[in-house]
Structure 1
Amino acid sequence: MNTRGSDFWDQPSSPPIGPEQFSDIVTTAADLAIVLDTEGKVHSVITNPLNPTLGRLDHWKDRDIREFMAEDSLSKLEAQLAAYRDGVSAKVDAIEVNHFDNANWEFPIRYTLHRTGREDIILMLGRDLRPIAELQHRLVKAQLALEKDYETHRDYETRYRVIMEAARDALVLVDVGTGRIIDLNSAAAHVLGANTDALTGAAFTQEFEGRRRGEFIEGLVLAAGDEASRAVQVQTRRTDAEVMLHPMVFRAAGDKTLLCRIEGTDKADSMAADLSLMMTSLYRDGADAIVFTDMHGQIRSANDAFLSLCDAGQLSDVKGKSLGDFLSRGSVDLKVLIDNAARNRKMKLYSTRLEGAFGSQLSVEMSTTHMPGPGNPGFAFVMRDTTRMEVVREPASTATAGPMPMSDDAMRNVMELVGSASLKDIVSATTDVVEKMCIETAVELTDNNRVAAAEMLGLSRQSLYVKLRKYGLINRSDSNGSA
C-alpha cells in the first residue's frame, strides 16, 4: 500500500485500514484513547504502551468518566457532550482536563473529541501533559531562582556601593589583565582630579606621571605580594599630588583584580587630620556648650556641655527639636540669632536665658556662625553660662540702684552739665540717652521687627511705638519697612 500516492487519501470511502491496524494506530498516536457515549459512560480505554507512566486504567470501563475527573474540568467536558447530544456539527476541539484515579493521583490530559459511525459514541484521543507541566514547573522554578539571585545580587551591589562611598580612604579597583579602572569611589576620583564616570574604564597608568602600563601594573602586583614594602609612591598627572598606592591582589570570577588604596603624602593632609581630631576633642570635651542646627534652627547635634546646661539626659532628648524651645524668648531669640548670622556670617555676642528641661533658667552668652556648606548648610551656636558673673555684679548693682556703668567720656559729658541744669534734668537726659541706645540696638538686632524688638525689651508693642516717636526713630524704621 503506497501512502505517498494520491490513491490512498483521495478515495471517496475511508482508506483501506484494517480494524487491527486501526486499533494499533490509535493506541500509538495518542497517550490515552477513550470511547464513551454522549452521557459520559466509558466503553473502552486504551493506553499507549510507549507511555507506561499512565499505568493500567481498565477499571474506568463501564463507569462514568466524571468519577475520574477534577471538578474544575467537568464544565469543559459537559459542554462538549451537550453539543454532541444536540447533534451540533462539532469541530475537532481540544480541551484540557485533570484526571485522578482512586489513589488521588492527578495527571493533566489534552483531549480531542471525534465522531464515530454511531451518533451516541465519541472517540477521545488524549495527549499526556505531564511532561509539559513538569517543564513549565522547572521553568517557573528556574525563573524564581533567577529572580532570587538577581535580588541577592542587587543587595550585594547596594552594600558594596554604600561601603565604597562611606569609606574615607580613596579606593580604586583595577583589572590586572587590561590595566583599566573597573571602579572607584568619590574620594579616589577627588584625589585623581576627575569625576568617577570619566575615570571608570580609563587606563590606570595614565593617571600618573612617568609610568608605563606593563611595568607599572606588574610593579603593583609585586608590591602587593611583598610584605616588607607594599606601598608605591607616585605623582598624579591631573593634580600633581604625591600619593602612596597600597595595592592588594585578589581573584574575582577567575580574573586578577587590584585593589589600590590611595593615601596622600602632603603635610596639609596630615595637618587637616590633626586639626579634625583636635576639633572633635574640643566639641566632645570642651567647657562651652556647642550646638549644630539646620537652616531653620532644628538641632542636629549637641555636645555634653549643652546637655548639661539644659538638663537633658542624652542627645536623642534634644535632637530634632528647635533651639528656640530652650531659649527664654523662644523664636524671637532664635530669629535674631539666625537672621544676623545669615546676614553677617556670624554674630559675636548675644545675651539671653536658657531654659532647662525641668523649668530651670540660666543666663548665657551666645555666639552664632553661619556654615553655608554644599552638603548640609546650617548654624553653629556656642554658649557660655554667665550666671556666676551676674552674681558677682549683683551686690554693686543693688547698692547703687542705678543704671548700667557709663564710659569715661559719657561720665565727663554728664559732669559738664552740672551747674547748667538741675540734677533732675541731668538724670532724665542721661536716662533718655540710654533708653534710646537700647531701643536702637533692639530694632537693629531684630532687623526692624517691632514685635520681636518689643518682646526683647520687655515692652508692649504700643509702648515701643510711643518711644520710637519720642526719640525720632519712627521715620527711620518706616523707611526700612516695618513688621
Structure 2
Amino acid sequence: MTTAADLAIVLDTEGTVKSVITNPLNPTLGRLDHWKERDIREFMAEDSLSKLETQLDAYRRGQKAKVDAIEVNHYDNANWEFPIRYTLHKTGNPNIILMLGRDLRPIAELQHRLVKAQLALEKDYETHRDYETRYRVLMEEARDAFVLVEVASGRILDLNTSAAQVLGAEADALVGGTFSQEFDGRRRGEFIEGLVLAAGDETVGQVQVRSRRSRMDVTIHPTVFRAAGDRILLCRIDAAEAATAVAADLGQILSGLYREGPDAMVFTDLHGTIRSANDPFLSLTDAGQLSDVKGKSLGEFLARGSVDLKVLTDNAARHGKMRLYSTRLEGSFGSQLSVEISATHMTGASGQGFAFVLRDTSRLEVIREPGAAVPAAPVGAAPISDDAMRNVMDLVGSAPLKDIVSATTDVVEKMCIETAVELTNNNRVAAAEMLGLSRQSLYVKLRKYGLLSKNDPAD
C-alpha cells in the first residue's frame, strides 16, 4: 500500500484518523504520526473541508460519493502546506474509510514554473512590441531611405516608405525580394559582396547604382551588423536627383543672402586676395564696382593692413573660424569706420580660401568711446564687472593701448597684452603694432607682467 500512494490514511466516518502511513520513497512529507487519534480536519485548509465533509456524509449514509477523488491542502503543526489528491475506498468495516493520496507538490511546482514562464513570455512580448513600435516610427519618420538586407540570402528584410519611393515600387511588394534585382546589371553574389566590402572600407564607403524601376541614379551607403547571429546590411540610399535639388535650393538661398543681406561679405583665397564681394562691402569701402576691389588684398582695406589680415587668417586656419575681431576699415578715398569681422576657413571643390563677414560698428562708438569705456576703479573699490572687461577686450586692436590703460587697472593692461600676443600667435612686432606700441615698449610691459618667460624668453 505504501508503494501505491505517497500517503495512506485510515479514518472513521467522523473524520478521526486511526492510522497514517507515508511512502518511504517520498521522505519530504516527514513524519505524520501525531495525526493519529486526532480529527483530520485540524490538518486541512478551510477551502478543503467542504470536499471532505461531502465524502464522509456519503459514507455515513452508506452511499457512494459522486466523485471518486478529491484534492485537498494539508497543514501540519509546522505550518507548512502540501496539496494531496485522495481516492477514497471502502473497507470491511462500514465505519472505516481508506484514503490513498498522491503528493501534488511536484505538479504544483511545475504549474508554478509554467505560470512564471508564461508571465516572462508576456513581458518579453510587450517589450518586443514596444521596440517594434519605436522601430517602425523611426523608419517611417526618417527622411533618408533605408533598406535592411540579409547578407546570406541577399533578400530585402524591411524598408521604409522613402526607400520604396526611390526603388519605384510598393514596400510590401519589395519585402522578400532580391535586393540586387532592383538595380541594373547587378548579380546577387557580387553585389552583396561589394556592399559588405564598401561597409568595411572607410575610403570607399558607398556604391553607385541605377534603380531598375525608377531609373534613378542612387548612392548606397552600407553598414554591416549582426542580429541573432545573422549578418544584416543597413543600406541608406541617396538619390542623386534629390541631393542635387537640395543643393540647388540651398545654393539659391545662400546666393540670395549674399546679394540681399545687410552685412558685408568677402571671399578670398588663402593669401587674402579678394575673389568676390557683395554690395554692402563695396558700400563700406566706397568702391564703385566689384572690379575695383577684386584681385586686391583684403589687407589693403584694413587699418593695420597685413597685420590684421594675418591675425584673421592665421586664427581661422588654426581653429576653422574666428569670431568678432574688432578693427577699422579704410575706404578707397581714405575714410575709416569701425567694424567687427568674422572669418571662416573654407574648403571645397573650388579650392581653399576664407570667407569674411564685416559689420559696421561705428554707431557704437557714441556709446563706447575709448577714453571712457571702462572707468578707473579707486583703491578698495569693487573689481571691474564682466561687462566692462568684455568692453576692454573689444577695444583691443581698435584703439591705442595708452587710451585703454588710462581708464583701467594693471590687470586689464596685462589682459590686453596677453590677448594681442595670442591673436598674433606670439608675433611681437604684430602685437606691438596692434596695441599702438613700439617694440621696445611692448618688451618692457612683457617683463613687467612676467610674460616673457611664459612665451618666448628671447628678446
Normalization by structure 2: what TM-score? 0.54
Name the SS of the counterpart of 1:224 in structure 2: helix
1:238 pairs, out of 207, 213, 216, with: 213
1:200-211 equivalences under 5 Å are 200-211=175-186
Q: Distance in 2 between matches of 1:33 and 1:61?
A: 12
Q: Which string of whole-angstrom CA distances, capped at 9 and with x for unpartnered residues, describes residues 409-428 of structure 1?
A: xxxxxxxxxxxxxxxxxxxx
Structure 2 residue 210 is the aligned partner of structure 1 residue 251 = no
The 3 A distance-change label for structure 1 pair 276 and 40 is farther
The 3 A distance-change label for structure 1 pair 193 and 89 is closer
- The residue that corresponds to 1:186 in the other structure is 161
Give the letter for the 1:166 counterpart.
E
Q: Distance in 1 between matches of 2:14 and 2:251?
A: 92
Q: Distance in 1 between matches of 2:242 and 2:117?
A: 57
Structure 2 residue 40 is the aligned partner of structure 1 residue 65 = yes
Q: Which string of whole-angstrom CA distances, capped at 9 and with x for unpartnered residues, describes residues 345-369 of structure 1?
A: xxxxxxxxxxxxxxxxxxxxxxxxx
Q: CA deviation at 1:266?
A: 2.1
Preserved contact between residue 208 and residue 235 of structure 1 (Cα < 8 Å): yes
Q: Which string of whole-angstrom CA distances, capped at 9 and with x for unpartnered residues, describes residues 320-340 of structure 1?
A: xxxxxxxxxxxxxxxxxxxxx
The 3 A distance-change label for structure 1 pair 231 and 120 is same
Q: Distance in 2 between matches of 1:239 and 1:73?
A: 74
- The residue that corresponds to 1:217 in the other structure is 192
Structure 2 residue 56 is the aligned partner of structure 1 residue 76 = no
Preserved contact between residue 69 and residue 85 of structure 2 (Cα < 8 Å): yes
Preserved contact between residue 192 and residue 239 of structure 1 (Cα < 8 Å): yes
Q: Which string of whole-angstrom CA distances, capped at 9 and with x for unpartnered residues, describes residues 176-233 of structure 1?
A: 1111111000000000000101110111111111111111110110000001110111
The 3 A distance-change label for structure 1 pair 116 and 277 is farther
Q: Distance in 1 between matches of 2:111 and 2:32?
A: 26
Corresponding pairs, count? 257
Q: CA deviation at 1:276?
A: 11
Q: Which string of whole-angstrom CA distances, capped at 9 and with x for unpartnered residues, describes residues 75-124 of structure 1?
A: 11011111111121447610110001011100000111111111111111
Q: Distance in 2 between matches of 1:202 and 1:49?
A: 65
1:270 pairs, out of 245, 258, 262, with: 245
The 3 A distance-change label for structure 1 pair 154 and 197 is same
Name the SS of the counterpart of 2:3 in structure 1: helix
Preserved contact between residue 244 and residue 265 of structure 1 (Cα < 8 Å): yes
Give the letter for the 1:94 counterpart.
A
Q: Distance in 2 between matches of 1:273 and 1:121?
A: 102
1:252-401 equivalences under 5 Å are 252-266=227-241, 269-271=244-246, 274=249
Q: CA deviation at 1:271?
A: 3.8
Q: Distance in 1 between matches of 2:53 and 2:251?
A: 84
Q: CA deviation at 1:127?
A: 0.6
- The residue that corresponds to 1:198 in the other structure is 173
Name the SS of the counterpart of 1:27 in structure 2: coil
Gaps of 5+ in 2: 258-459
The 3 A distance-change label for structure 1 pair 92 and 46 is farther
Q: Distance in 1 between matches of 2:50 and 2:130?
A: 47
Identity %: 77
